[in-house]
Amino acid sequence: MAFFTQEDINSFDHIHRINLMNSLSGYKSANLIGSISSSAIENVAVFSSIIHLGSNPPLLGFILRPTTVPRNTYENLKEIGYYTLNHITKPIIEDAHHTSAKYDKSISEFDVTNLTPEYLNGFVAPFVKESPVKIAMKFVEEYYIRANDTIMVVGEIQFFDVKDDMLEEDGFLNLSKGEVATINGLDGYAVPKLLTREGYQRPKEIQKTI
C-alpha cells in the first residue's frame, strides 16, 4: 500500500496531483451535456460529475469548475434555462472526450466531431443522437461552493428517452446493455459489466440470548 499525507498531495506537481485526485474517488459518470445559445449555436461538452439528487421531484446535479474562464455550457443553460444529459457509450468515447477541448463559443463541438445533434419532443436543447440514454433537463438553481470556487448546478428532469432493451420490467435501467462508459480520473474510460443485483436490504433478525 502507498500512503500519502496532505503534505504529500500538496507537494505533487500540478498534472500529477490532478490525475491522482480525480482518480481517487473511483469511477465517475460519463455524460455529454447538450446546450444551445440564444444565438442558436449548439454546444456539447463532456462532464464526469453528474449526481442523483432525488426522485420526487426527479433532480440531477453537476459541478462546474470556476467560471473565471468562459464556460459555454453554463452560459447557455443560464440564458435558455434548458439542457440535455446524454450517456457516453463505447463507440463514441473518442469524439465525446474531444469535446473537452476549449473551442470558441462560436464553434459547435457537433461540427468538429462525429456526434450528431438531435431534437426530441420540441425540446429547445440538442440531444446526442448516438446516445442510448437522453435526458431533458430544466435549470432549477445553483449553489456556489466557496471552498474551491465551483458551482453545483441543480436541474429537474423533464422527460427522457432510453433504448427499449436497456429497461427492465421493474424500472431498472441496465446500463451494461447499452455499453455505457464511466470515467476513471480525467481521461480514462471504462465500460463496466453488470455483475449482480442485490435487491432491497432489510435488517437481519438478531437472536437475543436469555
Domain membership of residue 172 (yes or no) is yes
Report the CATH number at residue 55.
Answer: 2.30.110.10
In a domain, 15, yes or no: no
* DSSP assigned state of 112: S
Q: What share of the chain in percent tops pLDDT 90?
A: 77
For residue 72, being part of any structural domain is answered with: yes
- Whole-structure pTM over 0.85, yes or no? yes
205 pLDDT band, cuts 50/70/90, is confident
Number of C-beta neighbours around residue 105 at 10 A? 14
**Res. 206: pLDDT tops 70:** yes
What pLDDT is recorded for position 83?
98
* Helix (H), strand (E) at residue 8: helix 6-11
Overall average pLDDT of the 128-152 stretch: 96
Which pLDDT score is estimated for 207?
81
In a domain, 130, yes or no: yes
Domain count, the chain: 1
In-domain check, residue 178: yes
Q: Is residue 129 part of a domain?
A: yes
- Whether 31 is in a domain gets the answer yes
Whether residue 171 is predicted with pLDDT greater than 70 in this model: the reply is: yes
pLDDT digits (tens, 9 = 90+) for 29-80: 999 999 999 999 999 999 999 999 999 999 999 999 876 666 899 999 999 9
Mean pLDDT of 90-118: 96
207 burial class (0-12, 13-18, 19+ CB within 10 angstroms)?
A: exposed
Find the range with the poorest average confidence among 10-14, 65-69, 108-112, 162-166.
65-69
- The pLDDT of 176-204, averaged and rounded, is 93
Does 120 score more than 80 pLDDT? yes
Please count the other Cβ atoms lying within 10 Å of the Cβ belonging to residue 9.
13
Q: How far is CA 152 from CA 18, 46, 126, in A?
A: 20, 16, 22
Please count the other Cβ atoms lying within 10 Å of the Cβ belonging to residue 172.
11
Rg value, the chain, Cα: 19
The pLDDT score that the predictor gives to residue 170 is 92
Alpha-carbon distance 153 to 137, whole Å?
Answer: 11
Name every residue whose Cβ is closer than 8 Å to that of residue 59 and which is 6 or more positions away in sequence.
Answer: 52, 53, 140, 154, 155, 156, 157
Assigned domain for 183 exists: yes
Residue 42: which domain range? Answer: 27-190
Mean pLDDT, range 102-131, rounded to an integer: 96
